[in-house]
Amino acid sequence: MDRTIAWFFAFNGISTIILVLGIFIFLAIIGLQAFAHISPFEFFFSTNWNPTSYVKPSWGILSLVVGTLYIAIFSLIIAVPLGVACAIYLAQIASPTMREILKPAIEMIAALPSVVLGLLGLLILAPLIADIFGLNSGLNALTASILVAIMALPTIISISEDAITSVPKSYSDASLALGANNWQTIRHVIVPAALSGIVAAVMLGLGRVVGETMVVLMVAGNARALPTGFFDPVRPMTATIAIEIKEVVVGDVHYQALYAVGLVLFIMTLAVNFAADIYLHRQEGNK
């Protein structure tokens, strides 16, 4: 009886490994078939993605990858300083009452569906951005990045806060006993000691940003050209899959190419998560 139950739990645990491998294998099986028709060189280095062209379809994902990176960089520029500062505030400065209000509020932001943020982008933020900067359309990389930053914020705040809270009290006690004030202690003792955890938080935030679909689908402007600036419309990889997957024939080259894009996305997030994992372990080792 006891053994059976132990095996049952073990089986459920192992099913998570099967799921990850399953996702990878299916993406790879279908995605790699695309390269029977598309040269890998074109796929990775051409900036021209036009699978439905009547003349000659082209399969370069470089503009899409750059679109993803644009959104990732801009949104982290917004979310990292705000998120880390907010984590420091929560972990070190805020009163217990403030903490009990703020922490659930941040959890609520995490629960906010991205499609709702996309809608607000469409109706409120894009017209506002267009107005402020005198643009014809506010559907561009900047607008999408601001909204995606909001999606990344809860991840960055909660992981950084954990890291800062996990710094042993003896560290700050020693610093305070030497006559440093609270800010000097935070700046020179606590934040450096929590740095690995904060880096991990940024990495996990990056993973979240790269995989975000609805906001970029609705407000990034949906242009397949290589962007040259903040105000250019972009079309990240996730949005491309979401737009085109309903129009393809199963088993077609286009279908396979979209799975190849999914595979690239999967490998990118996997790499980011591995990096985050390494930094998190380093943080735990510090304790």
Partner 1 sequence: MNPHLKQQMYFTLFRLTGLVSFGILILILIYIINLGAGVISFNFLTSMWANRDITTGGIYPAIVGTFYLGVGVAFFSVPVGIACAIYLNEYAGHSLVIRMIRLAIRNLAGVPSIVYGLFGLVVFVQMLQLGTSIIAASLTLSGMTVPWVITSSEEALKTVPQSFRDGALALGATKWQAVRGNVLPYAASGMITGSIIGLARAMGETAPIIVVGATFYMRGLPDSPFDKFMALPYHLFILATQHVHPQAQAYAAGTALVLVALIFSMTFVAMFVRYRFRKRKDW
Cα 275 to Cα 252: distance, rounded to the nearest angstrom: 35
117 is an interface residue for partner 1 by CB under 8 A = yes
Q: Which of 89, 127, 130, 162 binds partner 1 (CB under 8 A)?
A: 89
What are residue 58's DSSP bridge partners? Answer: 50
104 is an interface residue for partner 1 by CB under 8 A = yes
Q: How far is the CB of 56 from partner 1 (least distance, A)?
A: 26
Which residues, numbered 187-226, are part of the site for partner 1 (CB under 8 A)? 187, 204, 207-208, 210-214, 217-218
96 is an interface residue for partner 1 by CB under 8 A = no
110 is an interface residue for partner 1 by CB under 8 A = yes
Cα 260 to Cα 29: distance, rounded to the nearest angstrom: 9
Cα 161 to Cα 196: distance, rounded to the nearest angstrom: 12
Cα 194 to Cα 188: distance, rounded to the nearest angstrom: 11
Size of the site for partner 1 (CB under 8 A): 86
Within a 10 A sphere around the Cβ of 243, how many other Cβ atoms? 13
Cα 266 to Cα 201: distance, rounded to the nearest angstrom: 19
The smaller minimum CB distance to partner 1, of residues 113 and 229, is found at 113
The smaller minimum CB distance to partner 1, of residues 44 and 89, is found at 89
39 is an interface residue for partner 1 by CB under 8 A = no
Within a 10 A sphere around the Cβ of 183, how many other Cβ atoms? 10
38 is an interface residue for partner 1 by CB under 8 A = no
Pattern 140-159, binding to partner 1, x per CB under 8 A?
----------x--x---x--
250 is an interface residue for partner 1 by CB under 8 A = yes
Q: Which of 32, 66, 82, 135 binds partner 1 (CB under 8 A)?
A: 82
Hey, is 41 helix, strand or coil? helix
Distances (CA, A) of 214 to 109, 121, 162, 265, 266: 16, 11, 29, 15, 17
Cα 1 to Cα 3: distance, rounded to the nearest angstrom: 5
Those residues whose C-beta lies under 8 Å from the C-beta of residue 123, and which sit 6 or more positions away, are none
20 is an interface residue for partner 1 by CB under 8 A = yes
181 is an interface residue for partner 1 by CB under 8 A = yes
Q: Which of 73, 123, 128, 174 binds partner 1 (CB under 8 A)?
A: 123
The smaller minimum CB distance to partner 1, of residues 27 and 141, is found at 27
116 is an interface residue for partner 1 by CB under 8 A = yes
The smaller minimum CB distance to partner 1, of residues 89 and 171, is found at 89
